[in-house]
Structure 1
Amino acid sequence: MTKPYAEVIGDPIAQSKSPLIHGFWLEKLGIEADYRACHVTSAALPDYLAHRRQDSLWRGCNVTMPHKQAVMPLLDTVAPVAAGIGAVNTVLPHGGAGLSGTNTDAAGFLEPLGPDLAQTHYFRMARIMGTGGAARAIITALADKGFTLVVAGRDPAKARTLLDTLAPKGEHHAVALDHFANPTDFAFDDREDCLDLVINATSLGMTGQPALAFDWSHAPPGSIAYDIVTAPHYTPFLQGAAARGLRTVDGFSMLIGQAAAAFAMFFGQPAPREHDAELRAILTR
């Protein structure tokens, strides 16, 4: 390889849409560089980084499961945002300064909520399904934005630990994932001037996985439903929300947002976001 390049690493990695996204932007900008997927097992992670340290053409990598936490002790520096989340999803070379890690997941998650977060609310609440790596970024991001959080996991103790670690301030709650599976007759108020989010941060609903069991009677009026799953694009979770008349945000929003932040770091130019509609059409083929 003679051109500068970046890549995404993980195990498995064949399903990643990152090469398509970054390749699309590189072509639009006419940048002579590549972005590829690289299968890296947990055992091979130290050797992978050791080899890339010596490669002057390497511009960095995105990190996906299962390496977002395992990569951290192998780096020379970790940005405060990544240290706070406890996970790295972007690694960058800094010449003689070694390798640094950061995290663009939180910024990518918040991006489509920007207009909502710019408003003033007397109460903000988010119901977050999931306790994995993506949930860590989402919990951190929303706690910073003044949300009261309800985190639901198969293991409520793990959900509680995440809250205590990532959002120690505030009256947050940990519950079992099936807490939201059955109908509730709770009488929500009209929620005027409130911001309510319902977030699927699990892999449930992904192609080949069962749907997330969530009864929409648990969602206050005016809630925004946000699913980080990208395949399928329009998940059963989002379909259920739309049937209730709720606004939905799909997984491509976070995927493209976090990728754009990394792209600028890798290639020194902002991603050409004016082409988002065309990119989305390609991603949904």
Structure 2
Amino acid sequence: MALIAPKKLLNNREWYRENEIALFASDRQILMDGLISLVGGGRIVHNSGFGNFFCPKLGVSVNRENSRIHFGYNRAFKSPPLLQTNLHRKSNPDLNPETADHFEVGGDYNITELLTVRGAVFYIDGNDQVGMKYIGGNAQGFENIGSWEHKGGELSINWMLSHVFSLNAGYTYIDVGSNTQYNPKHQANLSVRTGWTLLGQELSLNLNGLGISSIYASNDSRDRLNDYMVFDLYADWRVHKYSSIIIGVNNLMDERYEYVRGYSSPGRVFTAGIRL
């Protein structure tokens, strides 16, 4: 299958154009009556500015009645967008594409039919990640930061407390070394969902939370940003077979934080709409 992604944008009366074509394929084999699963594939990318790249993907899992152990490897490629190379006032036309090799070992265990625990450890070896260079707290421009390594682990639970109430919670720890720019060391997430019936129609309430700690605007643990915890609440009421009314509150607690240096959060935001 081919994916063609042309980019052609105008900046200061000058056109910039970039083409990217990708061919990819994947296959899965089930062996020994489902005990072993093998996945293999790859993606060949041609970028008009950077040439050809091959990104393989391999995986194997051992599946038991109540558990699964898996190993995976994949290579990632990401070309810098035109915003970073040409269109931003601090753009850098000499940026290289980002590449990374990702290794992961993990497992799932169904403690009961209603409670599942998942965990994994991972290692990422990357090159040329694009970041913003700061001097004296002022943004100077985009740059490639060279080689980097990320090591970490994640743990999550999925608990169906009843037929109308479920809880998902997770935690991720990453040791990013000196590559600390916008890569938080600690990240926690929470999702609580409950379902009811209102006037004979399905009504679901969802509370999602995200917590970030030890995050910096620059590498080498410089320019630390404040830790934050953000909650979003929304309701989905299916009033018709083909439509729902959606009401939500983003940043429920009106938390003030910076997700990028110099760009503050919008505060509490109310949304409403109809989904068809």
TM-score normalised by structure 1 residue count: 0.24
Higher relative contact order (CA 8 A, sep 6+): 1
Q: Which has the larger radius of gyration?
A: 2
Which has the larger helix fraction? 1
